[in-house]
A and B are shown apart, each in its own frame.
Chain A
Amino acid sequence: MTGIAPLALGPLEARGFSINRSGIQWLVPDGYVCRANEVVGYCNISVEPASGFRPARTPFADERELQVAFAPRVAGRIRFDSQSSVGGYLDNLGVQPWNATTVIAHLETDEDLEPQTPQKDRPLRLLMLAGRRMTGLADVLTGLLPGWHSRARGWWSDEGAPSQTLLNLGICDALGPVRGDRSAFLELFESLDEGHVVVVPNHPLAPCAPCLLEQFQRSASEVQAIKANITEVVLNGPVEATADDWMFVGALLGALDQSPLRASFDLLTPEGLCKSRRPSSVLLSLNAEGPSILRHKTLGYRLHVLRVYQQAAGPAVRAWMASAFEPVKRTIDTIQEDYRQLIDGAGQDGHVQFLILNRMSTSGREDISTYAPFDAPMGDTLANVASKELNLMLHDLSRERDVAIIDVDAIAAEFGGGYHIPDGVHQSGAMQAEVRAEIVRAMSRGAA
């Protein structure tokens, strides 16, 4: 053992506001040997106006989940301070002021801790986590980023604002690698030196390119027209609305009314509060581009809701979707043009790099000996032919726009698709790790 490093909380600054924290919730047992940058515990925090201060706006006002996760900068054996946790609600609620010098644990390490290095001076890294609840009713207090969020994000709070923001608008194949096993970005940030990562989930609105573009371009009057129309359906439609309908409509209105591509974000750092830049990278899933989406017959906006989430709606919303919308078939050319418009639209206010996960396009259990039984175009019937054609389209797109392909197809072939991605979408942990590494590499190339 080379040394013992006291793990103090370290500085967090929010001028004019007080930062309070809960007791520490440890994620590993006392005496655990951790890796460098491995999150070992966390606490909940709150940022509230200091006594006598009346701010124009309160940061994180819509992000009721605000947490700090702790990760030692170097590997070693962690020993908890006996006072770090008190249990019960006091480990959930912000009952203690944030004090940079408070030591919550010690780290026994074999690594040299050179003076005047971050490893020596600030051995505990702070991973900030913020979640915007879909509803204030979803107040789950325990766990990392618990509850139902319309947006979740994380960033290393080492110095000033992170230099890049990755906005993840993918579906399951992109969500798993980014959020990881604990759904709190832990694995991603273990391999990401710095950065800010934002995830907007795909419920109820699936993030296909035309819907994202319309979110980005929708005017206030168009939002009002959509709200009035949906409200009329729920209140006075031919089918009586149930609680499921109201829940679905609330979530849908929230999604239609906001463009994650336009959002800016509060950040809490050791140097103070700041705002993030607009997303520098956007992560999408080709799997989100359905061959058929819906278009509202009178208002004209497009809607894509995965079938599993259509089932989550009540009878009034399902009847409305069946009668007020018409299906729009999308060819590969249509999808490519939708991507072009989204990329160009999002890039009008500044360059944005797009990272797109392609599709698994082979199956070891498929045994097609002749294509004669299948009508042309075969991409309309055969799933793997459709995937190959869409993947090729992405290559064409990447030649004309700044698009980095996250080659899930190649990774799956290398790992073995039957075991690691059995349904073509949902990956094993090992495959998620490789996809995650590819995302990090693409972000690095984009930043360079």
Chain B
Amino acid sequence: MNLLLDLKIPKINDYMSSALIEKIYVSEGAELTSGSKILDFSIDLSSAFSQNCPPISYYRIVAREKVQVRQLLKAAGEYGVLDEPIALFSHDAAEPLGEVVARALRVMTAGIVHHEEMWSGR
């Protein structure tokens, strides 16, 4: 049974079109459990143009199931558009990566405080 899972840029609010990957906590091959931090990202509603006080907010995605990280498609500092895959996961390490994605990884999303380890905190 194909059980390749993906993680996409989630729609956090109605105005967003993209997100900046601020920090990735996992590496390819890593085993995740429910509660593992996967990544932090930010949304700037002023899009690519900085304005006087950019409406930026920060979020963290945390795994809600036990999986292995198979492939990271984005790195910290890169932008992803809405619904664009960021990473692939599977329960079985031998799952072929070329298969069709069966479903989205189960995650939870939390608003977080900006911190110095973020890409924009450098």
> Which A residues are within 8 Å of any B CB, using their own CB?
171-172, 203, 291, 306-308, 311, 363, 365-370, 372-374, 380-384, 386, 418-419, 422-426
Interface string of B53-92 (1 = CB under 8 A from A): 1111110101010000000000000000000000000000
Contact B13 A418 (CB under 8 A): yes
| A380-B91 Cα distance, complex, nearest whole Å | 32
| A308-B50 Cα distance, complex, nearest whole Å | 8
| A302-B56 Cα distance, complex, nearest whole Å | 25
For B111, the closest partner residue in chain A by CB is: A383
A368 cross-chain contacts in B, Cβ below 8 A: 108-110
| A368-B37 Cα distance, complex, nearest whole Å | 13
Contact A363 B111 (CB under 8 A): yes
| A374-B113 Cα distance, complex, nearest whole Å | 12
Contact B53 A369 (CB under 8 A): no
Those of B92-122 within 8 Å (CB) of chain A: 108-113, 115, 120
Main secondary structure of the interface of A (DSSP, over half): loop
Please give the distance in Å from B112's CB to the nearest CB on chain A: 6
Q: Which of B13, B56, B110, B115 has the most CB of A within 10 A?
A: B110
Please give the distance in Å from B35's CB to the nearest CB on chain A: 4
B62 cross-chain contacts in A, Cβ below 8 A: 373
| A223-B56 Cα distance, complex, nearest whole Å | 34
Contact B14 A422 (CB under 8 A): yes
Contacts A419-B14, A422-B16 known; 4 new A-B pairs at CB < 8 A: A171-B53, A365-B11, A422-B55, A423-B43
Please give the distance in Å from A168's CB to the nearest CB on chain B: 15
Please give the distance in Å from A434's CB to the nearest CB on chain B: 19
| A409-B112 Cα distance, complex, nearest whole Å | 17
| A363-B58 Cα distance, complex, nearest whole Å | 12
B58 cross-chain contacts in A, Cβ below 8 A: 383
Contact B15 A422 (CB under 8 A): yes
Contact B54 A365 (CB under 8 A): no
B14 cross-chain contacts in A, Cβ below 8 A: 418-419, 422
Q: B30 in the interface, Cβ–Cβ < 8 Å?
A: no
Please give the distance in Å from A423's CB to the nearest CB on chain B: 4
Size band of the interface chain B makes with A: 20 to 34
Can you name 16 A-B pairs with beta carbons within 8 Å? A291-B113, A308-B50, A308-B52, A363-B111, A366-B110, A369-B64, A373-B35, A381-B115, A382-B113, A383-B58, A419-B14, A422-B14, A422-B57, A423-B45, A425-B55, A426-B55
A425 cross-chain contacts in B, Cβ below 8 A: 53, 55
Known: A308-B50, A373-B62, A418-B13. A367 touches B109 (CB 8 A): yes
Contact A372 B57 (CB under 8 A): no
Contact B113 A380 (CB under 8 A): yes
| A38-B27 Cα distance, complex, nearest whole Å | 60
Please give the distance in Å from B64's CB to the nearest CB on chain A: 7
A384 cross-chain contacts in B, Cβ below 8 A: 111
B12 cross-chain contacts in A, Cβ below 8 A: 363, 365
B17 cross-chain contacts in A, Cβ below 8 A: none
Q: B36 in the interface, Cβ–Cβ < 8 Å?
A: yes
B115 cross-chain contacts in A, Cβ below 8 A: 381
Please give the distance in Å from A328's CB to the nearest CB on chain B: 15
Known: A373-B35, A373-B62, A418-B14. A423 touches B56 (CB 8 A): yes
| A384-B60 Cα distance, complex, nearest whole Å | 13
Q: Which of A308, A380, A422 has the most CB of B within 10 A?
A: A422
A423 cross-chain contacts in B, Cβ below 8 A: 13, 43, 45, 55-57
B36 cross-chain contacts in A, Cβ below 8 A: 373
Cβ-neighbour of B54 out of A308, A369, A373, A383 (below 8 A): A308
Please give the distance in Å from B107's CB to the nearest CB on chain A: 9
B55 cross-chain contacts in A, Cβ below 8 A: 422-423, 425-426
Contact B35 A372 (CB under 8 A): yes
The list of the 10 closest CB pairs from A to B, nearest first, reads: A423-B55, A373-B35, A383-B111, A422-B13, A423-B57, A426-B55, A365-B12, A172-B53, A373-B62, A368-B110
Contact A381 B54 (CB under 8 A): no
Q: Which of A365, A382, A419, A425 has the most CB of B within 10 A?
A: A365
